[in-house]
A and B are shown apart, each in its own frame.
Chain A
Amino acid sequence: MTIALGFLALILATLLGWLLKQSFNTQPWVAEVVGETAHHGPLGTNSRLIALLTLLAVVSSFFALILSAYALRMELGDWVPLTEPQLLWINTVMLILASIVFQWTRNAAVKERQARLAPGLLLTGLLTTAFVIGQLVAWQQLQSSGQFITSNPANAFFYFLTGAHAVHIIGGMYVWARATAKVVLGTGDAPSIARSIELCTIYWHFLLLVWLVLFGLLLST
């Protein structure tokens, strides 16, 4: 459980540091004129960003716990390391490209270059779909070489991890599809579209990071 604990320590330390800053040396029992306390107000950022970051913490906790289970289960006698299909390298490249194109689209959205949005979003969608299909093909390759989910715990974890990751990608694709539909159909206002693209980009980078960690772990064990 060290992995999950390390992750939690990180999150809780962030939270604690921030709370300390908010509460250190305050005297809550003193009534003040509001003007003086103005800087103590809510965080001056986008609520959706806060919600997204919170969601990312939840998703990180989810994956950290699976990795903890992985580390614990690995030490038992019946574990036979799995040789990952080479296809995963190509899939990884697809996902990295998707992230890069999404970042490019986001920059265009922030700079209000509307013409670049549609091609950027569509290309991202294509690359991401390629990644998901690539993962499915990797599953097929494993199956046809006789590596089923029940064959070995290493296999079971491989299917579970890649499946869970793909489900998160598909969830992100739902938000991506809504933004893309707005851009292509010309409905929705520019600032709100830019906001969703910004948030989507963060989510894509996050899932890329998760994938790199998972892939690294799968390769090294």
Chain B
Amino acid sequence: MAYVAIADRDHEIEHHDPQTFITKYIWSQDHKVIAVQYGLTAIFVGLIALGLSALMRLQLGFPDQFSYINPENYYQFITMHGMIMVIYLLTALFLGGFGNYLIPLMCGSRDMVFPYLNMLSYWVYLLSVIILVTSFFVPGGSTGAGWTLYPPQAIMAGTPGVDWGIVLMLLSLAVFIVAFTMGGLNYVTTVLQARCRGMTLMRMPLSVWGIFIATVLGLLAFPALLVSAIMMLLDKALHTSFFMPAISLMGADPGYTGGSPILFQHLFWFFGHPEVYIVALPAFGIVSDLLSTHARKNIFGYRMMVWAIVAIGGLSFIVWAHHMYVSGMNPYFGFFFATTTLIIAVPTAIKVYNWVLTLWEGNIHLRVPMLFAIGFIFTFIHGGLTGLFLGNVTIDLPLSDTYFVVAHFHMVMGVSPILVVFGAIYHWWPKITGRMYNETLGRWHFWMTFIGTYSIYLPMHYLGFQGVPRRYFAMGNTEFMPESAQDLNAWITVSALFVAATQVLFFINMIWSLSKGPKSDPNPWHATTLEWQTPDHPPKHGNWGHELPVVHRWAYDYSVPGYDDDYIPQNVSADDAPAGRDHGGAH
């Protein structure tokens, strides 16, 4: 039977070009518009979370100077900051934003396989965000249970937001999971079904691989959060005792019997650890493509990179209890989970080596996206190494409740993915908008962010070794903490406010570029992947005009010996790219 790519069968996917402003930009089924909607919403809530962290830092750096920050508020800030950053910003931005934009374009498809479901996914996500933001304004405010929402305190009197906040939080998470599942079904099916002719799995750019495996992880792990959210809602609303132990509350009996808080921790981290990789794997993939493109060199060890992504994905499901060493579980479990945690460092280290080896003898162009990609290697190695410390039970026990942990996870899954987000936005901005940004401003943005974040988080490791406890509203007078710890805290706060303020550069640059930026070349980085080869720039609805592209090679044909150009796009056949012939693309 003659081979016909699924995407070539027009009856499978119908495309009606949107006519009005509303169908084009609001109720849009175009994956590119949905990606931008996801991205803007995620960045909007991300800014709220950034503001919350600034408020927390004000209290920590200059205790009791600000009358509007009290202990209750402080815990609400922590909780909402963590939850928003991890789930509503990073997960939504990487999968809903970049996943939506890149999968169809990089795979050579016209759109997601189910455009209507895709649109629904965004609107349900927006609903979850609205529920979340509403919780700031209900009586009692948002929940202050900490982003891990551990029972019993999450639903007991004394915790801020115990009446409304926690209920809205759990509800919002459940709605988010529904939205993610709708999106996730689309991403998986599109990668499996709608690749263009010649795009074999092992020719997909690593960005698509990272997003694909992260989506699979999300689809299998988010149910754990859903189960725990429902069970906690039942404990809260109907007074069942899934998680709530027999407990006395101000001398009264709230009616709970012997539930298990540890059970919640198991369920939560069964989701929570894969969640780290749901955020990290797309970042790994994207950073590989940025490094390869801007170093004009094929990615080192492509197959190894793919298998490392898959291996990390699989292993990420059997390390969850390394978050629970201090929970009082059986010590033999700790031994097992410390071992698996060290094992997962192996494929991760392979990836880091391969990134560095990709740079080696490359023709490195230090443009803004490349700066962010290389910055990511630094912060990720840093955060990864402290992860090895904390993965060992004996080291984790004394450090678990200190700022060392805060420094570790912010380096590895805060700063690192955010650097990739910025790198990716700068990299694909010309494709999304058709305009260039100001390079100098971009560099300033990078250096101030990069140095600024180091100046926040390096001292925090030291505070952790000093034993400064995390989660505390005020440190009080303790003997083991030298007075200089407070000076360091003030320094960290100043740095944090500085970094937060420098993000204005990014927004100024992008808003300026939208209206006044110079028009960009269709392929300004001379990249090989399909999204840069679209007939229209920026790509229109349906992406490819009349004919779908045909792929002849992998995504990493940079500096191939014997060719004039230092790149050969994926859709150029061996016959069309003979040595010495120019095949399009400006020099």
Q: Which residues of chain B from 303 to 325 have any CB-CB distance to chain A below 8 Å in the complex?
A: 303, 306-307, 310, 314, 317-318
Give the contacting residue for A29; candidates B223, B241, B263, B556; CB below 8 A.
B556
CA distance A34 to B553 in the complex (A): 9
Is A193 an interface position by the 8 A CB rule? Answer: no
Q: Collect the chain A residues with CB atoms within 8 Å of residue B554's CB.
A: 28-29, 31
Q: Collect the chain A residues with CB atoms within 8 Å of residue B240's CB.
A: 149-150, 153, 156
Is B236 an interface position by the 8 A CB rule? Answer: no
Smallest CB gap from B557: residue in A: A31
Is A77 an interface position by the 8 A CB rule? Answer: yes
Query: A14-39 toward B: CB 8 Å interface, digit per residue (1/0)?
Result: 01100100110010110111100111
Is B357 an interface position by the 8 A CB rule? Answer: no
CA distance A12 to B552 in the complex (A): 30
A1→B270 contact, CB < 8 A: yes
Smallest CB gap from B195: residue in A: A42
Is B224 an interface position by the 8 A CB rule? Answer: yes
A54→B185 contact, CB < 8 A: yes
Smallest CB gap from A78: residue in B: B258
| Given known contacts A22-B201, A29-B298, A65-B270, A160 and B230 CB-to-CB distance under 8 angstroms | yes
A5→B317 contact, CB < 8 A: yes
A28→B203 contact, CB < 8 A: yes
Q: Could you tell me the distance in whole angstroms from the C-beta of B180 to the nearest C-beta in chain A?
A: 10
B298→A37 contact, CB < 8 A: no
A76→B219 contact, CB < 8 A: no
Give the contacting residue for A150; candidates B199, B239, B258; CB below 8 A.
B239
CA distance A34 to B186 in the complex (A): 26
B219→A37 contact, CB < 8 A: no
B257→A78 contact, CB < 8 A: yes
Most interface-central of A34, A58, A78 (chain B CB within 10 A): A58
Query: A122-144 toward B: CB 8 Å interface, digit per residue (1/0)?
Result: 00000000000000000000000
Smallest CB gap from A55: residue in B: B185
Q: Collect the chain B residues with CB atoms within 8 Å of residue A69's CB.
A: 227, 231, 242, 263, 267
Q: Write 12 A-B pairs (CB below 8 A) sorted by A numbering.
A: A28-B554, A31-B553, A31-B568, A34-B197, A34-B551, A40-B200, A44-B6, A61-B221, A68-B266, A150-B241, A156-B234, A160-B230
CA distance A4 to B189 in the complex (A): 24
Q: Collect the chain B residues with CB atoms within 8 Å of residue A170's CB.
A: none
Sorted nearest first, the 5 A-B pairs with minimum C-beta distance are A31-B553, A40-B200, A62-B223, A38-B3, A156-B240
Q: Which residues of chain B from 153 to 210 have any CB-CB distance to chain A below 8 Å in the complex?
A: 181, 184-186, 188-189, 192-195, 197-203
CA distance A43 to B554 in the complex (A): 19
Is B550 an interface position by the 8 A CB rule? Answer: yes
Is B12 an interface position by the 8 A CB rule? Answer: yes
Q: Collect the chain A residues with CB atoms within 8 Å of residue B148's CB.
A: none
Give the contacting residue for A47; candidates B6, B200, B230; CB below 8 A.
B6
Is B485 an interface position by the 8 A CB rule? Answer: no
Is A8 an interface position by the 8 A CB rule? Answer: yes
B192→A50 contact, CB < 8 A: yes
CA distance A208 to B5 in the complex (A): 35
Give the contacting residue for B202; candidates A26, A39, A65, A66; CB below 8 A.
A26
Is B486 an interface position by the 8 A CB rule? Answer: no
CA distance A43 to B191 in the complex (A): 10
Is A73 an interface position by the 8 A CB rule? Answer: yes
CA distance A15 to B217 in the complex (A): 12
Q: Could you tell me the distance in whole angstroms from the C-beta of B422 to the nearest C-beta in chain A?
A: 29
Query: What range describes how many residues of B lie at the interface?
Result: 35 or more
B189→A54 contact, CB < 8 A: yes
CA distance A144 to B200 in the complex (A): 60
A47→B318 contact, CB < 8 A: no
Is B252 an interface position by the 8 A CB rule? Answer: no
B189→A47 contact, CB < 8 A: yes
B238→A149 contact, CB < 8 A: yes
A41→B188 contact, CB < 8 A: no
CA distance A156 to B239 in the complex (A): 10
B267→A65 contact, CB < 8 A: yes
Q: Could you tell me the distance in whole angstroms from the C-beta of A143 to the nearest C-beta in chain B?
A: 13
B306→A23 contact, CB < 8 A: yes
Query: B549-587 toward A: CB 8 Å interface, digit per residue (1/0)?
Result: 011111011000000000010000110000000000000
CA distance A97 to B227 in the complex (A): 30
CA distance A57 to B221 in the complex (A): 11
Is A72 an interface position by the 8 A CB rule? Answer: yes
Q: Collect the chain A residues with CB atoms within 8 Å of residue B573's CB.
A: 31, 33-34
Smallest CB gap from A21: residue in B: B201
B181→A58 contact, CB < 8 A: yes
A15→B6 contact, CB < 8 A: no
CA distance A66 to B228 in the complex (A): 9
Most interface-central of B198, B303, B554 (chain A CB within 10 A): B198
Q: Collect the chain A residues with CB atoms within 8 Å of residue B113's CB.
A: 47, 51
Is B386 an interface position by the 8 A CB rule? Answer: no
Smallest CB gap from B7: residue in A: A42
Q: Collect the chain A residues with CB atoms within 8 Å of residue B241's CB.
A: 78, 150, 153, 156
CA distance A42 to B548 in the complex (A): 15
Give the contacting residue for B195; candidates A12, A41, A164; CB below 8 A.
A41
Smallest CB gap from B318: residue in A: A5
Give the contacting residue for B188; candidates A12, A45, A54, A76; CB below 8 A.
A54
Is A181 an interface position by the 8 A CB rule? Answer: no
Q: Could you tell me the distance in whole angstroms from the C-beta of A173 to the nearest C-beta in chain B?
A: 18
Q: Collect the chain B residues with CB atoms within 8 Å of residue A43's CB.
A: 192-193
CA distance A153 to B5 in the complex (A): 53
B223→A61 contact, CB < 8 A: yes
Is B349 an interface position by the 8 A CB rule? Answer: no
Q: Could you tell me the distance in whole angstroms from the C-beta of B578 to the nearest C-beta in chain A?
A: 12
| Given known contacts A42-B6, A54-B188, A65-B227, A47 and B234 CB-to-CB distance under 8 angstroms | no
Q: Collect the chain B residues with CB atoms within 8 Å of residue A78's CB.
A: 241, 257-258
Q: Collect the chain B residues with CB atoms within 8 Å of residue A153's CB.
A: 240-242, 257, 259
Q: Could you tell me the distance in whole angstroms from the C-beta of A127 to the nearest C-beta in chain B?
A: 28
B242→A8 contact, CB < 8 A: no
Q: Could you tell me the distance in whole angstroms from the C-beta of B533 to the nearest C-beta in chain A?
A: 15
Is A93 an interface position by the 8 A CB rule? Answer: no
A16→B310 contact, CB < 8 A: yes
Q: Collect the chain A residues with CB atoms within 8 Å of residue B263's CB.
A: 69, 72-73
